[in-house]
């Protein structure tokens, strides 16, 4: 089906007619607080989402997690077989602990809708549901089958859901990630840095700091030398950032520290730099000959790069935005998402959520008008023809 200005306007009209229901749906999601580690709370919100997708006549599958709330898979009951599929991904877990709603009450303030988790990313979940409802109401059948995956562990690295995301992405024609866009302009994320986590553990030798300090080997001193080496690996021009964000060591001020450790965050723009910086970190050697040092970890999220297929999907979004009178812009994000995973296998566009600000911050909000606007954009993208890249 050829997309047109008329279709775009009809879609927007249909979505906007559902604005009140969208806000109520979003309100329910936000009020159902869902920290990544609270399995009971996650079960509640997943039950709600599953029941709502069943109302759309979607087949649903709840896959339990071992240490997380698992994930929800949904697809249309009545579907054409042997057609390509498009993956819609969101997460229902948040960084906010239970009862955060008391400190950050859900409310509207002028043009803003505010509350914990509303921007990251319960507005995005609302968009998924109402985009699919819009297609149903307009009796539109995409040439690419919409398949939904909502996980409960994205904020803690998607450890358990990543294999399922990878399997679906490997057979998908494209993937849309409903994470928040970047900045108040609502820029779509066409690239993301890769993320790594490394731990350095240093083993020295304890001794009394006053009686016989010369018999000790101070693990903290050794670690301080290694921290300086790590700092020197930063390369702003290449976008390589190394941050020693946590250190620990020693037992008492009057004891030469026998142990110390550091946790290091690494961000890179591409896989080449990921391999390069990983090799440099693992090549670190202790300066003191009697120190033992162990390095663990690695790059957990491979960078989402501006591949040819990702850029083609962005161009389609840009064109679709024009049909809706939206001047869309693209950007590279410093943080990772499940889009880093899908991009390894299929065309991916991230940051399709609702414009706002304050992810993981107490002023978290969305622009109320943007909810229908971005839902219309997603609906239009779902009607795009299959990519041939």
Do 148 and 77 fall into the same domain?
Answer: yes
Residues 315-346 pLDDT 10s: 999 999 999 999 999 999 999 999 999 999 99
* pLDDT exceeds cutoff 70 at 229: yes
Which residues neighbour 371 within 8 Å (Cβ) at sequence distance 6 or greater? Answer: 19, 22, 23, 26, 113, 123, 126, 127, 354
**Encoded tokens for 289:** 């000959």
Do 153 and 294 fall into the same domain?
Answer: no
* pLDDT exceeds cutoff 90 at 2: no
Q: Which CATH number covers residue 53?
A: 3.40.630.10
Q: In the predicted model, what is the mean pLDDT of residues 94-108?
A: 98
Q: Which domain holds residue 230?
A: 194-301
Pair 33, 122: CB distance under 8 Å: no
Output the pLDDT for position 153: 98
The percentage of residues in the chain with a pLDDT greater than 70, rounded to a whole number, is 99
Q: In whole angstroms, give the CA distance from residue 198 to residue 201.
A: 10
Output the pLDDT for position 367: 98
Residues 11-41 pLDDT 10s: 999 999 999 999 999 999 999 999 999 999 9
Do 317 and 251 fall into the same domain?
Answer: no
Please name the residue that has the structure tokens 């101070």.
218
Q: In whole angstroms, give the CA distance from residue 91 to residue 120.
A: 9
In the three-class reduction of DSSP (H, G, I as helix; E, B as strand; rest coil), residue 11 is classed as helix
Does any domain span residue 186?
yes
Query: Domain boundary at 280, 301, 322, which?
Result: 301
| Partners of 356 in beta bridges | 366
Q: For the beta carbon of residue 236, count every other beta carbon within 10 angstroms.
A: 7
Does any domain span residue 279?
yes
Task: Please give the span between the terminal C-alpha atoms of the chain, in angstroms, as a whole number.
Answer: 19
Q: In whole angstroms, give the CA distance from residue 384 to residue 135.
A: 13
Residues 183-208 pLDDT 10s: 999 999 999 999 999 999 999 999 99
Does any domain span residue 240?
yes
**Encoded tokens for 214:** 């010369």
* Average pLDDT score, the chain: 97
Q: In the predicted model, what is the mean pLDDT of residues 115-123?
A: 98
Do 278 and 313 fall into the same domain?
Answer: no
Output the pLDDT for position 80: 86
Q: In the predicted model, what is the mean pLDDT of residues 254-277?
A: 97
Do 172 and 198 fall into the same domain?
Answer: no
SS (H, E, C) 173-232: EEEEECCCCECCCCEEEEEECEEEEEEEEEECECEECCCCHHHCECHHHHHHHHHHHHHH
The two counts, helices (H) then strands (E), for the chain are: 11, 18
Burial group, residue 363, by CB count within 10 angstroms (0-12, 13-18, 19+): exposed
Do 90 and 32 fall into the same domain?
Answer: yes
Which helix (DSSP H) or strand (DSSP E) does residue 241 occupy? strand 241-249
Do 23 and 149 fall into the same domain?
Answer: yes
Query: What domain count does the chain have?
Result: 2
pLDDT band at 268 (very low <50, low <70, confident <90, very high): very high
Output the pLDDT for position 60: 98
Residue 304 DSSP class: B
* pLDDT exceeds cutoff 90 at 111: yes
**Encoded tokens for 120:** 């990251």
**pTM score above 0.85:** yes
Residues 346-364 pLDDT 10s: 999 999 999 999 999 999 9
Q: In whole angstroms, give the CA distance from residue 262 to residue 197.
A: 10
Q: In whole angstroms, give the CA distance from residue 44 to residue 62.
A: 12
Does any domain span residue 49?
yes
Q: In whole angstroms, give the CA distance from residue 365 to residue 344.
A: 31
Do 181 and 32 fall into the same domain?
Answer: yes
**Encoded tokens for 252:** 């008492």
Residue 385 DSSP class: P
SS (H, E, C) 69-126: CCEEEEEECCCCCCCCEEEEEEECCECCCCCHHHHCCCEEECCEEECCCHHHHHHHHH
Output the pLDDT for position 81: 86
Do 280 and 315 fall into the same domain?
Answer: no
* pLDDT exceeds cutoff 90 at 3: no
Q: In whole angstroms, give the CA distance from residue 250 to residue 260.
A: 6
Pair 243, 199: CB distance under 8 Å: no
Residues 287-316 pLDDT 10s: 999 999 999 999 999 999 999 999 999 999
Output the pLDDT for position 66: 96
Output the pLDDT for position 1: 60
Do 292 and 309 fall into the same domain?
Answer: no
Which helix (DSSP H) or strand (DSSP E) does residue 26 occupy? helix 19-31
Do 228 and 155 fall into the same domain?
Answer: no
* pLDDT exceeds cutoff 70 at 88: yes
Do 18 and 40 fall into the same domain?
Answer: yes
């Amino acid at each position: 089906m050829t997309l047109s200005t008329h279709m775009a306007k009809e879609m927007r009209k249909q979505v906007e007619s559902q604005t009140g229901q969208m806000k109520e749906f979003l309100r329910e999601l936000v009020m159902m607080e869902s920290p990544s580690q609270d399995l009971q709370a996650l079960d509640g919100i997943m039950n709600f989402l599953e029941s709502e997708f069943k109302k759309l006549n979607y087949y649903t599958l709840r896959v339990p997690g071992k240490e997380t709330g698992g994930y929800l898979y949904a697809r249309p009951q009545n579907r054409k077989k042997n057609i390509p599929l498009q993956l819609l991904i969101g997460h229902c877990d948040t960084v906010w602990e239970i009862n955060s709603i008391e400190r950050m009450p859900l409310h509207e303030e002028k043009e803003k809708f505010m509350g914990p988790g509303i921007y990251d990313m319960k507005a995005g979940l609302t968009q998924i549901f109402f985009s699919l409802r819009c297609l149903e109401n307009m009796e539109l059948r995409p040439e690419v089958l919409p398949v939904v995956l909502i996980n409960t562990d994205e904020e803690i690295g998607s450890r358990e859901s990543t294999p399922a995301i990878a399997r679906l992405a490997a057979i998908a024609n494209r993937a849309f990630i409903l994470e928040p866009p970047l900045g108040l302009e609502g820029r779509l994320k066409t690239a993301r840095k890769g993320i790594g986590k490394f731990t350095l553990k240093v083993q020295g030798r304890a001794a009394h700091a006053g009686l016989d300090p010369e018999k000790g080997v101070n693990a903290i001193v050794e670690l301080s030398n290694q921290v300086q080496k790590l700092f020197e690996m930063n390369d702003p021009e290449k976008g390589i950032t190394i941050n020693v964000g946590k250190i620990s060591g020693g037992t008492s001020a009057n004891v030469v520290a026998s142990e110390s450790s550091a946790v290091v965050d690494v961000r890179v723009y591409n896989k080449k730099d990921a391999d390069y910086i990983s090799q440099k970190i693992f090549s670190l050697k202790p300066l003191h000959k009697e120190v033992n040092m162990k390095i663990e970890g690695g790059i957990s999220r491979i960078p989402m790069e501006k591949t040819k297929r990702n850029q083609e999907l962005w161009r389609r979004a840009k064109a679709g935005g024009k049909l809706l009178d939206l001047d869309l812009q693209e950007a590279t994000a410093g943080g990772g998402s499940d889009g880093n995973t899908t991009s390894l296998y299929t065309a991916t566009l991230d940051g399709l959520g609702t414009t706002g600000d304050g992810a993981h911050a107490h002023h978290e909000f969305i622009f109320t008008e943007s909810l229908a606007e971005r839902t219309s954009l997603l609906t239009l993208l779902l009607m795009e023809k299959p990519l041939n890249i």
